A and B are shown apart, each in its own frame.
Chain A
Amino acid sequence: MTAFSQQWLLTETPSSRSQAAWGRRYRAWLALRSNTLAMIGLVVIVTFVVLSLAAPLLATHDPGSQDLANRLARPSAAHWFGTDELGRDLYSRILYGGRVTLGMVIAVVVLVAPLGLAIGCIAGYFGGIVDRILMRVTDVFLAFPRLILALAFVAALKPGVESAILAIALTAWPPYARLARAETMTVRNSDYIAACRLTGAPSGRIILRHVAPLCIPSLIVRITLDMSSIIITAASLGFLGMGAQPPSPEWGAMIATTKRFIFEQWWVPTIPGIAIFMASLAFNFLGDGLRDVLDPKQR
């Protein structure tokens, strides 16, 4: 079997459905690979995810074990990034914190993207009264200041990772709905959607199989660009004590609890700050690269 050779992927005359699909994906990958910044972003993100997943193997200390005799230590051979105000190893906490922070981001995206896509596509495709109702609901959520709504929501529930995820999701979906609606409206009156309607297909099938796939690329781009702001919102909630609860190591919370040491023991709050900064920047780089590859308007 000649599967997955370069010729098989790049042929102009594919001979099966899967070959055509893989060929298109491979071309997108080639385009992405030629974008240096996007590749840097991708490598950083993959590294962070792998490091977080492998935290139990890579951590040198238990992230919760305290050593008050050795608090606020400088980076050294024993503690690579130093220790925090309770003498906990920062390197281990960064690794475990990645699980919480990146996990929150992924959970938010998994909740938000399908919801925004569904609402936007339905509103855009049907138009009229359906559109008006769904978009007014969207406007209501869009009008709330994001962090304040999230804070109120978390305060109403109980502070914790799950509530923080729900709160961020609640405030993050309207832009996706708007985007999906705009994309849908540009294709709704096209001849190829008219041709789909002329097959007699029900609206649900048309939206799911013909309209939504056209909205997904710009949604993916928007999501990767939003990842950084989701990280920052998650970190802000953590900073305000409304996100992950101690002793759970979350990057934002780690900065919050050590902010008073920023002048004397600067590395303690700076190291989680660098982690947040690098993750956000990497997502932005990747998002920009993906926009060049996926955005159908740029072809």
Chain B
Amino acid sequence: MAPVMIDVDQLRVRFGDNEVVKGVSFQVPSGGSFGIVGESGSGKSTVLRAMSGLNSAWTGRIAINGQSLGARRDRAFFRTVQMVFQDPYGSLHPRQTIDRILSEPLLVHGISDIERRIEKALAEVALPSTARFRYPHQLSGGQRQRVAIARALISEPETLLLDEPTSALDVSVQAEILNLLADLRERRHLTYILVSHNLAVVTHLCPQVGVMIGGEMVEQLSADDLRSGQTMHPHTAELRALSVDLEEVP
């Protein structure tokens, strides 16, 4: 068994009086990927935002690579953990070229060799080099999400937090992005946490899945069990039935 990369223990997040994450715990081995599924509003994205440091109002323990994290993160943290957002239309600065977007993390971390790294990053996510000096609005949704992935990977993190990375894309592009993510994980030995409401997406990428409802993680099971319907919690069965129904419609 690989060493534990991510250890989340009794994570609680509140917005005012409203507790949206109620004691979530899970572990992800190094190089593994863990999926979190749940309906919208179940707190799954909030878990990611607390882990990434975007939301500091949490209690409990979050440890990455054996190091417990505080509410404030130092710059070194952002070299090891990066995030890809749901909406590629909203996650790229509308007034910056792809080149500028990709060079920003390198400039912040004082990483040299910007030219070569940007070219390599574009090649890695299979974007043509002609896209480099374009603006986001000149690219398609799938291309934009590739840029977002390239931006997350350019500072060479070990862990990638994926917040519904495919839900804003159409189905054929979804598959491309998922395959790209699977390739990248293998090549770079990345650890993923993938949040999605789509069971097919989660089981495609993650061997281990946690199911969240109303801020609680009610069940953790393997992707194979989920696919074959060997669920423990009634809500998991419900989610599964729903997605099977949806798949059979067309």
Contacts and interface: CB of A to CB of B under 8 A. Distances in A.
Contact of B91 (A14, A15, A191, A214): A191
A298 interface: no
B130 A213 contact: no
Contact of B138 (A12, A190, A296): A12
B83 A24 contact: no
Interface string B131-153: 10111001000000000100100
B94 interface: yes
Nearest to B93: A192
B11 to A, nearest CB: 19
B16 interface: no
A214 B108 contact: no
Interface stretch (A69-77, A160-168, A195-203): A195-203
Interface string B72-89: 011101110011011100
B29 to A, nearest CB: 24
Contacts of A197: 53-54
Contacts of B231: none
A199 B155 CA distance: 8
Nearest to A191: B91
| Chain B interface extent, by class | 35 or more
A12 to B, nearest CB: 7
Interface string B58-84: 000000000000000111011100110
Interface residues of A, number: 26
B133 A196 contact: no
B97 interface: yes
A155 interface: no
Contacts of B193: none
A24 B54 contact: no
Contacts, number: 79
Give the top 10 A-B pairs by smallest Cβ distance, nearest first.
A200-B78, A191-B91, A200-B75, A13-B130, A20-B133, A14-B133, A199-B105, A191-B85, A192-B93, A191-B90
A11 to B, nearest CB: 9
B134 A20 contact: yes
A195 B78 contact: no
B79 A15 contact: no
B1 to A, nearest CB: 30
B108 A296 contact: no
A20 B97 contact: yes
Contacts of B105: 199
A265 B91 CA distance: 65
A44 to B, nearest CB: 30
Contact of B151 (A15, A24, A195): A195
7 contacts: A16-B133, A191-B85, A194-B85, A196-B104, A198-B52, A199-B105, A213-B95
A12 B128 CA distance: 13
Given A17-B100, A200-B78, A201-B108, A195 B91 contact: yes
Interface string A253-267: 000000000000000
A200 B74 CA distance: 7
Interface in A1-35: 12-17, 19-20, 24
Given A198-B52, A198-B54, 19 more contacts: A12-B134, A13-B130, A13-B133, A17-B100, A20-B135, A191-B86, A191-B90, A191-B91, A192-B90, A192-B93, A194-B54, A195-B91, A199-B108, A200-B77, A200-B109, A205-B108, A210-B93, A213-B95, A296-B95
A199 B97 contact: no
Nearest to B161: A198
Interface of A: 12-17, 19-20, 24, 190-192, 194-201, 205, 209-210, 213-214, 296
B92 interface: yes
Nearest to A18: B133
A17 B114 CA distance: 13
Contacts of B53: 197-198
Contacts of A14: 97, 133-134
A13 B134 contact: yes
B78 A199 contact: yes
Q: Which of A13, A15, A197 has the most CB of B within 10 A?
A: A13
B101 to A, nearest CB: 8
B104 A296 contact: no
B85 A195 contact: yes
B216 interface: no
Contacts of B104: 196, 199, 201, 209
A209 B134 CA distance: 18
Contacts of B131: 13
A84 B28 CA distance: 87
B99 interface: yes
A17 B97 contact: yes
Nearest to B54: A194
Contacts of B91: 191-192, 194-195
Given A191-B90, A192-B92, A198 B134 contact: no
Interface in B182-224: none
